[in-house]
Chains A and B, each alone.
Chain A
């Protein structure tokens, strides 16, 4: 069975600084996708970034980028120039044909 692990329950970053959230996963499949979702206090899930396992190039979306290490089954999220609006719960997720499973989440606080 696939599993997703986030080892950092909480993280804090100063505004304008950079923070990296960690995620590891386990799967025996070769074709899958990885995602980072954000859940603000409203609890509405928002897609931050996605990565296809077959692509070696790390995905980037504006201030958000990932470090995808397939062999190590690691998928970290880097947030640059952190903003107050980035404060939220961040979930790493694994996507397969009939699965979309989430890690335990990292609560990110942004200090002004």
Chain B
């Protein structure tokens, strides 16, 4: 299958700082990218959906100003957690899809964010 590379795989940052997570589709053009947050032993909670060149669509309850999503090209989307707090510590996963709703979505390896 296609490859989605997510970087970094883990990061520790100080409270109040910002951290950027990158998600790249390596061998296909990702028209749609999804960002999820996963708590231990829980489901993937959809945070936002982004289409290349458009503003991201955020799910209800997700702070747009805190979780900045940019989908500047067909192969790259970034999630920036601004002014991070310990409660933002979580596992973040990106997913990329190269076609419509029936197209397989490929997932990055995830990023473990710890805010201290």
| A-contacting residues, B7-56, CB 8 Å | 32, 34, 36, 38, 41-44, 46, 49, 51
Q: Which residues of A contact B38 (CB under 8 A)?
A: 43
- Judged by a CB distance under 8 angstroms, whether A52 is at the interface is yes
Which B residue's beta carbon lies closest to that of A32? B101
Interface size class of A (residues with CB under 8 A): 20 to 34
Q: Interface on chain B toward A: helix, strand, loop, or mixed SS? A: strand
Query: Which residues of A from 67 to 112 have beta carbons under 8 Å from B?
Result: 91, 95-105, 107
Chain A residues near B105 (CB, 8 Å)? Answer: 47, 95, 100
A52 CB contact (under 8 Å) in B46, B91, B102: B102
- A100 pairs with B110, CB closer than 8 A: no
User: Is residue B71 contacting chain A, with contact meaning CB distance below 8 A?
Assistant: no
Asked, given contacts A52-B102, A95-B102, whether A100 binds B34 with beta carbons under 8 Å apart, the answer is yes
